[in-house]
Chains A and B, each alone.
Chain A
Amino acid sequence: MTSLILSPAEQDYIIRGVESGFRADGRGSLDRREVSLRTGMISQANGSARCRIGNLGVGTDVLVGVKAEVNSWTPGEPEDLGSIVCNVECSPSAAQEFEGRGAEEINVELTQLLDRILNGPQSGLDLKKLCIIPKQAYWVLHIDALVLDVKGSIVDTLVWATRAALMSTSLPRVVVETIGDEMGNMQAEFDVVDDPEDLTPLEGAENLPISVTFSQIGKRYVVDASEQEEAVTQAKLTVAVSPVMEICAIQKGGMFRGFPPSLLAEILETAQRIAREELTRFDVHYAQAKSHLSSQADEPSTGSTFLVQF
């Protein structure tokens, strides 16, 4: 999405390379760069994660924080559901065109995309569990994402970071009591336990989807386009796939070309395959990192901070 200008010779080199199956950095067309994830680094947030997709420490970098707030119910809102509010902001230091108000459009686009992926039953989060007392109070999860650096594949990084942040989110325990008043009416009251050790993890976060973005370059498409590859991308398709291999969201971007419909079925199937592989690898690393952390029980924990590289 950055406006890197390439010479016609460079563009031709990349396009012909992709069409022969050779990307400029030697990756196959369905290979992703290294993904590194760290969670729990923002101690004041209920959950946080930072994801970087790229090589050797340089890549697209997104930081996500999750903050939970109790909201009072107002008539018109769903009676027994909590809610999720997303906000994505691209830092002006991420790319030159984000200076000043340059990032407004892309902020809105990414916020709406994230919202579409997370809000709704397909996201896997059970919003009913976020309700404290029906028609009275519910949890609102504010998900704030900050894009720190852009080197291609901004959506995939954003979704990975959000998923990891929600998986590391834990909410304070809430105690609900039903009290009867003089007239015999039953009133429910709740109390948020103010103990930083007494937390319940957010349920259903492991059902969240991840996204795979396909970029059409010449006559073929590649996964995880680098900055140079994005400069010659004509159309993009982002597919969000859940761990149960359901398609949660699809978004087509790129103003230069459309996708032939026959390609669509193939892309959806490939997206499912890639998502399955990545989620399996992630689960293995995540479990390893978590068990490693809990074995260091003697260290004071500022939350679980660990690095998953896969």
Chain B
Amino acid sequence: MEIDEAPQKVDIAARIVTPGTAITNDPAFMRGHGTFSEHDTIYSSVAGVVERINKLVSVRPLKQRYSGEIGDIIVGRITEVASKRWRVDVNSRQDGVLLLSSINLPGGIQRRKSESDELQMRTFFAEGDLVFAEVQSYFADGALSLHTRSIQYGKLRNGTLVTAFPQLVPRSRSHFHTLSCGVDVVLGVNGYIWVSKHVPASKVEANAELIYSDKNEPISDDEREAIARVANCIQLLNRLYVKITDMSIIFAYEASLVHSVKELLTHDVAVELAQNVMARLEQQA
């Protein structure tokens, strides 16, 4: 297939389209996700960017609900306590499920689940709690089944939640980062990002009994400011549609130091910082 011959083929790639835009009427193309065909023309069904891979034409939407994959690291909020399970809001079409058998019970990983555990489920997670978990499998209806069977997972404390678009948080090797300013960041692939005071891992392991505690560590003013700064950086990366990774957060943080924390969310400063970050990311690539 000669790309030079038919101009519409060159036009296809990297176009921004809205629902109903005609992409091509060349019968050689197959239609992929985000498209539909009427008569002989392929139209876009979502607002997004056209992607062409060989003969496959698809449209990647700009905004999409999070759909979980097995192995995803996510942050969720408990919405309901049910019989031997919790329902968790994971920013997706359906609430996820955290089974009682999928969590670490205080007193060591090997402790057997007892009947009293079933009756005291709210001592582990109650409505409103934030949980750092991994997707284990799917239920028959497509709901995600989560687990927190590792010491780094569990209830989140000492910080604040930032909500971002799920597609801006790429899947990567590690989703838990410690920044040099003493702030821990948990990048949930579902768009929920937890920014908190750094607590050394040794301290976490030493207090196996307190993994379900609701009490925060004491947080100093400097730590609060650092957390607020990082949270604002993530927020502005999100609103200006920049991918949120540990590198982009660090770049944004460094560039933000000349401004006060509250200025970061004003329009002009945010745009300047986002452009700065994108330039540095491009340089690095």
Contacting pair A10 B225 (CB below 8 A): no
A246 an interface residue at 8 Å Cβ cutoff?
no
Query: What residues of chain A lie closer than 8 Å to B145, measured between beta carbons?
Result: none
A281 an interface residue at 8 Å Cβ cutoff?
no
Contact string against A for B residues 253-285, beta-carbon threshold 8 Å, 1 for contact and 0 otherwise: 000000011101111001000000000000000
CA distance A26 to B266 in the complex (A): 12
A178 an interface residue at 8 Å Cβ cutoff?
no
CA distance A55 to B239 in the complex (A): 9
CA distance A8 to B156 in the complex (A): 10
Closest to A22 in B: B224
Contacting pair B219 A13 (CB below 8 A): yes
One of A5, A23, A25, A33 near B77 (C-beta < 8 A): A5
In this complex, which of A9, A12, A24, A31 has the most chain B Cβ atoms within 10 angstroms of its Cβ? A9
**Tier of interface size on chain A:** 20 to 34
State the Cβ distance, A4 to closest chain B Cβ, in Å.
9
Contacting pair B262 A31 (CB below 8 A): yes
CA distance A55 to B228 in the complex (A): 14
Contacting pair A26 B77 (CB below 8 A): no
**Which chain A residues (1-48) contact chain B, with CB distance < 8 Å?**
5-10, 12-14, 16-17, 20, 22-28, 31, 33-34
Contacting pair A10 B267 (CB below 8 A): no
Query: With A13-B159, A13-B219, A56-B239 in contact, do A5 and B127 touch (Cβ < 8 Å)?
Result: yes
Contacting pair B270 A56 (CB below 8 A): yes
State the Cβ distance, B89 to closest chain A Cβ, in Å.
10
A58 an interface residue at 8 Å Cβ cutoff?
yes
CA distance A12 to B224 in the complex (A): 13
Contacting pair B214 A9 (CB below 8 A): yes
B residues whose Cβ falls under 8 Å from a Cβ of A: 77, 127-130, 155-161, 214-216, 219, 221, 224-225, 228-229, 231-232, 235-236, 239-240, 260-262, 264-267, 270
A residues whose Cβ falls under 8 Å from a Cβ of B: 5-10, 12-14, 16-17, 20, 22-28, 31, 33-34, 55-58, 228, 309
